[in-house]
Amino acid sequence: MNDQEKITSNQLMAIMLSTIIGIGILTLPRTVTEAAGPDGWMLVLAGGVVAIILSVVISRLGLMFPGKTVVEYSGDIITKPLGIIFSLGFFTYYVLFCAFEARVFAEVTKQFLLDRTPSEAIIITMLLGAAYLARQDIATVGRMGEMLVPVFILPPILFLLPGIPEMDLTNLLPFMRTSPGKLLTGFGTIVTSYLGFEALLLFQPFMARPRDAAKAMTVALISIILIYVLAVVTAVAMFGVVEIQQLIWPTFAVYRVIEIPGAFIENIHGVVMAIWVVAVYTTLAVFFFAAVTILGRILSLKEHSFTALPLALLIYFLALVPNNVSQVYNYLDAFSLYLGIPFGFVLPAVLYIIAKVRGMGKEGGNGREKQAKKSG
């Protein structure tokens, strides 16, 4: 694995952008307004800041163990058996994440694009497509991100422009009227929409310059915060706090309202759907890749690619477990709470603290130096 081609920090940035933006953005305006009404966008901001802090922690953790992924260094930090249990949990987390991603994708696609196609067909094609990328090496994933990020970020933002007359920014008022207690309870759900950044635990050793990870992560997460805030603000401005809670996928609803003047395309939401397919694909494929990588590293396989197809089958059956959309979202909430938050936020921090307490890692000092330089 050491002779593998490395990724640049731009590629890491692209991978993170394409990983974190996935199914979450569709429901984000609803969940934040449920939690905090018109002040929801501030929750988004706060969640993003937490994600940035955690990713900096993860990158420092990675710098302590150069050339190692979390699968190896978790064993170093919390003894081998516990490390393997941790890695297996991490693996399960990614497999389940893939399953949710595929299922939600199928539900949305059925609703907006292919109303008569069975979910099974949509899920299996999506998973096979993702498995194809998961079979490649990290550099391919990085290039893929670089190619696709502009494709799925710029057009949806541009398509918002004709919708500006429909928006009413007074919907965002009153400002700062939500009680702090309510904000705090909502925070837990919002922060999970940033899940995906913890893949840095795996990808950092593949970077040509692992030192740049923190910077790249910060830039990527700031971009994502801006995109999320934009999504929330436009949706709230367009529909208002009350109406938005009636919509399952308010972000798409925005594009149903928008009409591009003089354009050939009648319904822009179809195009946005097609672009969103790209966003979901990249998310799913990167998680899939992460799962395959973890599995390969736990089993110390030389070649990880052959585990992709059996894994696709497993994810397929997992994706079909929930019966309907509301059940999917109930399970997803439970998943975010019981697996997402621990693996994304808590455990990396715990690992970092334990490693620090045990005084491990030779490069910790340099990492701090770099951090100081950046803030100064």
Say how many Å lie between the first and final Cα of the chain, rounded.
37
137 binds other proteins (CB under 8 A): yes
Please identify which residue in 45, 226, 278, 301 interacts with other proteins, judged by CB under 8 A: 278
Q: 226-265: which residues touch other proteins (CB under 8 A)?
A: 264-265
Please identify which residue in 45, 50, 84, 114 interacts with other proteins, judged by CB under 8 A: 114
List the x/- string, 180-209, binding to other proteins by CB under 8 A.
------------------------------
From the list 50-58, 106-114, 188-196, 211-219, the region that binds other proteins by CB under 8 A is 106-114
Among residues 195, 185, 183, the alpha carbon closest in space to that of 55 is found at 195
Q: 138-157: which residues touch other proteins (CB under 8 A)?
A: 139-140, 142-144, 146-148
Distance CA 356, CA 351 (A): 8
92 binds other proteins (CB under 8 A): no
In Å, how far from its chain's centre is CA 60? 20
Nearer to other proteins among residue 158 and residue 274 (C-beta): 274
117 binds other proteins (CB under 8 A): yes
Asked whether 256 and 273 are in contact (CB, 8 A), the reply is: no
Minimum CB distance to other proteins, residue 11 (Å): 8
Please identify which residue in 84, 113, 298, 360 interacts with other proteins, judged by CB under 8 A: 113
Distance CA 195, CA 205 (A): 20
Three-class DSSP labels, 279-324:
HHHHHHHHHHHHHHHHHHHHCCCCCCHHHHHHHHHHHHHHHCCCCC
305 binds other proteins (CB under 8 A): no
11 binds other proteins (CB under 8 A): yes
Q: Which amino acid is at 323?
A: N
Residue located via tokens 């690992």: 351
58 binds other proteins (CB under 8 A): no
- List of residues 6+ apart from 374 with CB closer than 8 A: 214, 215
Minimum CB distance to other proteins, residue 4 (Å): 12
341 binds other proteins (CB under 8 A): no
